[in-house]
Structure 1
Amino acid sequence: MNMPDKIILLKIFVSLYIIFLVSDISFGQRSNLNSQVLQSGVYFKTSDDKLQRMFDEAECLARINIKDFGRYDVMVEGAGYSAVFLETQPMGGAMYAKRNIEIAKNNQLVFMDCQREDGRLPGSVRFKEGKLTSRYLELQGGFLPLEAFDVYFWIGKDPEYLTQLYETLKKYDNYLWKTRDSDNNKCLETWCIHDTGEDHNERFGNSYSSWGFSFAPTLDNLKKLSEKDSLELCSDIYNRCSGKLKLDSPMPVESMDVMSFSYANRYILARISKILQNGQSKFWDEEARTVCEKIRDYLWIPEKHACYDRNRDNNVMDVLIHNNLRCMYFGSFSQQMADEFIRYHLLNPEEFWTTIPLPSIAVNDPVFRNAAGNNWSGKPQGLTFQRSIRALENYGHYAELTMIGNKLLNTIKDSLFFVQQFDPFSGKCDEPAKRNGYGPTVLASLEFISRFYGIHLSQDKIYWSCLDDKNDFEYIQKWGDCHYKLQTRNDKVYCFINDKEMFWFTKGARVVSDFKGRIIAVIGIEPEAKTVTVSVSGETHSLSLLPNAEYLYKNKFRKLRSVEFSFSPNN
């Protein structure tokens, strides 16, 4: 077969694939609710060969992480982690909704359905010997509320699902406040290293990795442990402490993470209450506000421009940690707090803005360790990159997110390794042979592509984005009976819904529309100022778009806000 014939066959194959993608063909998804789950799928094509190879590899690795958990098909964490963990997989499933909405739903339900009577959610769920096995020896994060609420919109606003989610979050929040404030000072506590998913973190010193008891690991309680309880605690696979009790731990630690878990519960409970019209919206909004105020007044140190946890004696643990970014993910910071942490710390090359940014602990902190493996004492984690997307978008720091995402994508494009950790100084992948195919890194990469050269669907909006890049891009998102297409031609970006052109804009911006294609806003996502042209309804508009600037559109554009962009090229 000669080369022209091969090219013709390739074009035919691509055309057939697109027809398959945008048709009503089932993708083999298995529903576990009575409601019919929408079908979804993604097609991406670019002239950037390295980016295309990376995208294709990420798609393959993501599919490998889909597993049969009996009545659920779920996406596991991958790269040796065969369970679904509360710290990763609600978000992992939600990000995979672009390709399989049922997986997104199941990655929420597997936790909701396994909630204990007392409200405790499982930290992880495994499928062994034909049955689900839930583990309750650590909180393992509290990353269910935001993602599970998004999924409600994506599965057709199923009222049964929403009611279950409301009861789940209400019971879980009650559990936290009933058990995790042992000194009754209105600040929730972490009781073991895995509660916040910071495996092997040096800042916790000689603490237990897991703690399955309903009482706090105070010094007095440790000394009162029965021989049976002591043996049970020390023999857990994650503790391995040979029967010797750990009496010099900082636990219980008053935690910005656990407080943020509660904030997210209450924030979403307020949103659900509005939909259910149960009269509880104002109550939950006020409850969420009290959590934010406690974080600000008790854990935030104004002169340090950051939050710090407190140890069992309520003394400040003077370690500068990336967990401030986690608070931003949950939305528990004010705009001022987020701006200050980004300005003074996130963009500081002596702390978090390293060759590969986002180390778990500031690299100039004495507690920082550049340790290999699964260690939250230092190296940037793929999971932190994944969380950074919601964290920075929550506060309008789109341009900073572009810089972070590009650093990750450029690293992976060269290696094609999707690992758990990266060396912050050399930029090299950590243990690629052992940890390749790590789900959070795979999904973060795919999500960054959708944010930089594609389409993202939120609860009620569509984000059409394209950086100012010399390459060509085509991104198609199938969503139920609709398909949305972004296609570039030279410097213009054309946006279609069901093959009907809705508008176009020039590269270097994000356009936000509703699901009918009506423009709502234009956002500056580039780290440099751009002059952007938007054409809608036969009229063209020219905007001088600064980083993080947002313009609302109602027949004409008006500036809504411009969040500070304090990055200096000298960084």
Structure 2
Amino acid sequence: MIDRRFFLAGSAALAASGPLRAAQQASEPTTGSVVSDAPVFRTGNARWQAAYDKALDVLARNVRIMPYVSKPVLIEGSVYRGVWQECGPHEALLYRHWRPDVAVNSHMTFFDLQRADGQLPANNKETETGFGQIQMVVPIAATAWDLARATGDEALLHAAYSACSAWDAWLMRYRNTLGTGLVEGFCTYDTGHDNSPRWAGLPNQCPNKNAKQHHAIASLPRLCPDLSATVYGARRALAAMARALGKGAEADRWEDQASAIRRTILARLWSEGDAAFYDRDATGQFVRVRGDVLTRMCGEHVPDQAMFNAMWRHQLGDPAAFWTRFPLPSIAANDPAFVRPIPANSWGGASQALTAMRAGRWFDRYGRSAEFGHMMTRWCEAIMADMTFRQQIDPSTGVFTGGEDRPDYSPCALVMVENSWRLVGMTEEDDVIHWNIRPRHLAAREASLSRRTGKGGRAAMHYREDAAELSINGRALARVTGHARLVTDVTGHPVQLVGIERGTERVTVQLADSAPRTFRLRPNKHVPLN
């Protein structure tokens, strides 16, 4: 029995399944259209509007029908003609406001192509469906749960719970050969870290494209913190799915297993002296390369706040390491392994659009909303200066890598779209609306924005000179001057203010039928509104 308290209002999307399709169909965009109630973003800043509109155009053109699956999915774009488990479902989740059908299909592709033994494909490309590595980062269980919960899609919920439970069992059967309970990396592609010094000298793929095996190399297998974090995040999502399905005992089991793998990650793969997570190779040695593994651990909320604070102080927030002019490089800028000059498709130092796209999963969680705003603005500036939507930028200059890194990369387009809303618009998370108010921001110039809420309403923001006017379903909610995030429930009832600028802001909030209230809001400060 479905526990409907776990769902927001929404119409169920149809699960994707169907006959074999010819590979050549993948070369043409699909004819599907954006939903009529898609978000509306209008700004008087012509340069910003052009970048935003082009980003949506890139995404629309990257909706394709791939081999073996009869319904359209969002492909990676650029030179990547397919959908990858590490990122495709997450990208489609972000795109769901425009193409909810594509969001469901991009998950069901992996579930439909799952092998009988529980192995999910690493990818589905024009040329093949790949099973030669596990290649996971953001848990498909987590994005499927977010999507099912946001849309009320019971069919997706059932399919995801079954498929992701079997995937967890496969990983513990074939990627836990040392019996630690952690997930082992066998090759470079397992973590999607192409050309990274993390995997220097090791093979890209498993032997004979069999992800159950690794090459006979003394340092393999490795205990990988990010792969284990993915399983931790997946188990937390499976627990939530189980509760929604009325499976209380199974939910308890998933929560216990999630806690167990987190404890083991912290005990074996955290280096307190470096404030960093590292791989541990088969000889028991840390692979001391400081890379974006740290951001992936934050994305699944493995560190507690105290541990995160140490990571921020010594690594992520250090301008000499990861807080570069254009954050966040794939290898710390002061790590000897940083690769320069920066080649194409390099997880050896370039700041990657995928990392920027995933940042929304952790910055606010750890109380760094003000710094997140800075990072989002820098990425949008880099995109507007280039407009080709490629894979990666130089963390020092913001210049996109050309050459083999071709234009029209979906994650980069999603960075532009998602950042625009997180900077000067509304986002909805965990049954609350974040009204991100920045009247002085470039994107806010004479801006008018609206989008549907999970409860079926329509939230809107209109910028007037130094203020933003907020409404739900045409009902005035508030007028806010200064830069701040107003957090409300989905009906518009105020919850708190959050400081989202790196300096102290003078913020005035006038709620409907109330006198104005003025606050001095410090960076990342949370002020309850009763």
Conserved? CA contact 2:13–2:104, under 8 Å: no
Percent identity, aligned pairs only, is 26
Aligned to 1:11: none
Counterparts of 1:359 and 1:434, CA distance in 2: 17
Conserved? CA contact 2:185–2:227, under 8 Å: yes
Aligned to 1:4: none
Aligned to 1:76: 75
Aligned to 2:464: 489
Q: Please point out which of 141, 144, 149 is paired with 1:148.
A: 144
Conserved? CA contact 2:439–2:467, under 8 Å: no
Q: Map 1:135-174 to 2 at 5 A.
A: 135-143=130-138, 144-155=140-151, 157-174=152-169
- Shift of the alpha carbon at 1:488? 1.0
Change (3 A) 1:453 1:192: same
Q: Please point out which of 215, 232, 236 is paired with 1:263.
A: 232
Counterparts of 1:498 and 1:433, CA distance in 2: 47
- Shift of the alpha carbon at 1:189? 0.8
Aligned to 1:124: 123
Letter in structure 1 aligned against 2:528: L
Conserved? CA contact 1:40–1:97, under 8 Å: no
Is residue 62 of structure 1 aligned with residue 59 of structure 2? yes
User: SS in structure 1 opposite 2:388?
Assistant: coil
Aligned to 2:447: 473
Q: Which moved more, 1:424-433 or 1:452-461?
A: 424-433
Change (3 A) 1:46 1:186: same
Aligned to 2:48: 51
Cα RMSD over matched residues?
Answer: 2.3
Letter in structure 1 aligned against 2:116: E
- Shift of the alpha carbon at 1:210? 1.1
Conserved? CA contact 1:150–1:458, under 8 Å: no
Aligned to 1:403: 374
Q: Map 1:403-552 to 2 at 5 A.
A: 403-431=374-402, 434-469=405-440, 471-478=445-452, 482-539=457-514, 540-552=516-528
Counterparts of 2:191 and 2:319, CA distance in 1: 26
Structure 1: segments with no counterpart, 5+ residues: 1-28, 223-246, 557-571
Q: Map 1:3-14 to 2 at 5 A.
A: none
Q: Which moved more, 1:438-447 or 1:110-119?
A: 110-119
Q: Please point out which of 253, 260, 266 is paired with 1:290.
A: 260
Change (3 A) 1:110 1:379: same
Aligned to 2:281: 311
User: SS in structure 2 opposite 1:274?
Assistant: helix
- Shift of the alpha carbon at 1:459? 4.5
Conserved? CA contact 1:329–1:391, under 8 Å: yes
Structure-2-length-normalised TM-score: 0.88
Counterparts of 2:233 and 2:262, CA distance in 1: 10
- Shift of the alpha carbon at 1:425? 2.3
Conserved? CA contact 1:399–1:547, under 8 Å: yes
- Shift of the alpha carbon at 1:419? 1.3
Q: Which moved more, 1:184-193 or 1:475-484?
A: 475-484
Cα deviation digits, residues 285-321 of structure 1 (max 9, x gap): 2211111111111111112111111112121111111
User: SS in structure 2 opposite 1:392?
Assistant: coil
Letter in structure 2 aligned against 1:548: N
Aligned to 2:192: 197
Letter in structure 1 aligned against 2:95: Y
Is residue 392 of structure 1 aligned with residue 399 of structure 2? no
Aligned to 2:113: 114
Structure 2: segments with no counterpart, 5+ residues: 1-11, 18-33
Cα deviation digits, residues 498-550 of structure 1 (max 9, x gap): 22222222231112222222222222111112122222242233232221122
Counterparts of 1:214 and 1:451, CA distance in 2: 38
Is residue 188 of structure 1 aligned with residue 183 of structure 2? yes
Counterparts of 1:47 and 1:284, CA distance in 2: 49
Letter in structure 2 aligned against 1:190: G
Conserved? CA contact 1:30–1:73, under 8 Å: no
Change (3 A) 1:461 1:141: same
- Shift of the alpha carbon at 1:71? 2.5
Letter in structure 1 aligned against 2:477: M
Aligned to 1:231: none
Conserved? CA contact 1:513–1:521, under 8 Å: yes
- Shift of the alpha carbon at 1:256? 0.6
Cα deviation digits, residues 63-92 of structure 1 (max 9, x gap): 111112352211101112110011111111
User: SS in structure 2 opposite 1:348?
Assistant: coil
Letter in structure 1 aligned against 2:526: E
Q: Please point out which of 332, 335, 355 is paired with 2:305.
A: 335
- Shift of the alpha carbon at 1:391? 2.2
Conserved? CA contact 1:301–1:307, under 8 Å: yes
- Shift of the alpha carbon at 1:479? 5.6
Conserved? CA contact 1:509–1:522, under 8 Å: yes
Counterparts of 2:439 and 2:223, CA distance in 1: 44
User: SS in structure 2 opposite 1:435?
Assistant: coil
Change (3 A) 1:342 1:551: same
Conserved? CA contact 2:193–2:347, under 8 Å: yes
Counterparts of 1:149 and 1:550, CA distance in 2: 28
Counterparts of 2:83 and 2:483, CA distance in 1: 37
Letter in structure 2 aligned against 1:116: R
